Structure 1
């Protein structure tokens, strides 16, 4: 009769019968039987069901199981980029529990220059089932730098870059986790030599 264990059970669905899932509220699903009876089923009970084609009924779990295997992530960070203060955000799409496509954008504010960054790459989670899950990263991107002019007239520039990195994500509760990471960037300049910039950041994220 309601989305919680404190509500009484008023109807049991027979084995091999089908139900329609109307919507989800946290760990409970509102369902409708073939006879039109509506009620709530727990997450644990729904995990025992299958779809019409016989495949398992799957959904993103707001718990450790969901942390291990989910569709995507989003988060916000604060840290440092090349010695400058840095804020950024990211979003990722998972191919499986260990591999995801990830994009990030950020802004740095430094003593000698300001700028924005954007990158796209692959993230490999080494131990996805662990509460503290280490991961590795590899990708490419661009950085737009606006030097602060002093005695010499400086020009803005946009340059390509590549990066490798790693970090750890630590599950907190429900759909939330802490994520810390480091990236080593190689900036491909049009000048005589390429540049390097290290990125450190820490923030909060959620999965879905």
Structure 2
């Protein structure tokens, strides 16, 4: 079961970044004096057109932090290019039901509009990591949701392979970061999960089974950009068994994650 769960999480990591956040193509009114439109999705692509205040753009699709937009100019001519997310946040939605219900004197920037809240303030993140569990190599992925700037909930899954044993782990944790505004931010986590172990080699028919464990840990996360971060963490597992001899495991991980 954990192996299939791990594969499912991997599929979600691949597919969800490409998910369209709205079936309706949004139309946005430009509020700033100018809006730079690039030939491609990146700062290295040149600006080929400068849209002006009052013009309307339509979002076609997204690629990471860049959006492909369609702009009508004089007559039936059109311009198609790319706009960065930060610049897009300073526009205003014109074709949403919520916007039409607002007083005409109210101006709500796209970055503050509830319809696009997860676009400009994403709270769902995905990551993968590599680590060590005793003498075994460990690879894993994690999916989390930020509840507040400091608190998040997370599902973790991993596979380990050692000289004498192999298996899988699945856990759910709550994480707390006391200083989320810091670029290098510490965090702690606590949770519980299940470990599935199979012996290898001459002991392959012995010691196979699963156990519940309690997990605690701490680490550091380095913010690379608004969406991406590196993470180094230590986890301690208190493995609960049917006997009085509970086991302990320690793991170290280095990982990379992104918000979507």
**Structure ranking higher on relative contact order (CA contacts 8 Å, 6+ apart):** 1
| TM-score past 0.5 threshold | yes
CA distance in 2, matches of 1:55, 1:141: 43
Specify the SS of the correspondent of 1:45.
Answer: helix
Specify the SS of the correspondent of 2:110.
Answer: coil
Which ranges in structure 2 are unaligned for 5 or more consecutive residues?
1-36, 94-98
Residue equivalent to 2:38:
2
Is the deviation greater in 32-41 or in 187-196? 32-41
Q: Which has the higher helix share?
A: 2
Is the deviation greater in 92-101 or in 118-127? 92-101
CA distance in 1, matches of 2:131, 2:169: 14
Q: Does 1:29 align with 2:29?
A: no
Q: Structure 1 residues 101, 193: CA separation in 2 closer, same or farther (over 3 Å shift)?
A: same
1:1-208 matches, cutoff 5 A:
2-3=38-39, 6-9=46-49, 11-14=51-54, 19-32=57-70, 40=81, 41-51=83-93, 52=99, 53=102, 55-58=108-111, 70-148=122-200, 150=202, 154-173=206-225, 175-208=227-260
Which ranges in structure 1 are unaligned for 5 or more consecutive residues?
none
Do 1:70 and 1:97's aligned partners in 2 also have CA atoms closer than 8 Å?
Answer: no
Deviation at 1:38, TM superposition (A): 5.1
TM-score, normalising length from structure 1? 0.77
Q: Compute the RMSD of aligned alpha carbons.
A: 3.2
Do 1:167 and 1:180's aligned partners in 2 also have CA atoms closer than 8 Å?
Answer: yes
Q: Structure 1 residues 155, 127: CA separation in 2 closer, same or farther (over 3 Å shift)?
A: same
TM-score, normalising length from structure 2? 0.64
Q: Structure 1 residues 135, 50: CA separation in 2 closer, same or farther (over 3 Å shift)?
A: farther
Residue equivalent to 2:13:
none
Figure out how many residues of one structure are paired with residues of the other and give that number.
Answer: 200
Specify the SS of the correspondent of 1:111.
Answer: coil
Q: Structure 1 residues 29, 115: CA separation in 2 closer, same or farther (over 3 Å shift)?
A: closer
Q: Which has the higher strand share?
A: 1
Deviation at 1:153, TM superposition (A): 5.6
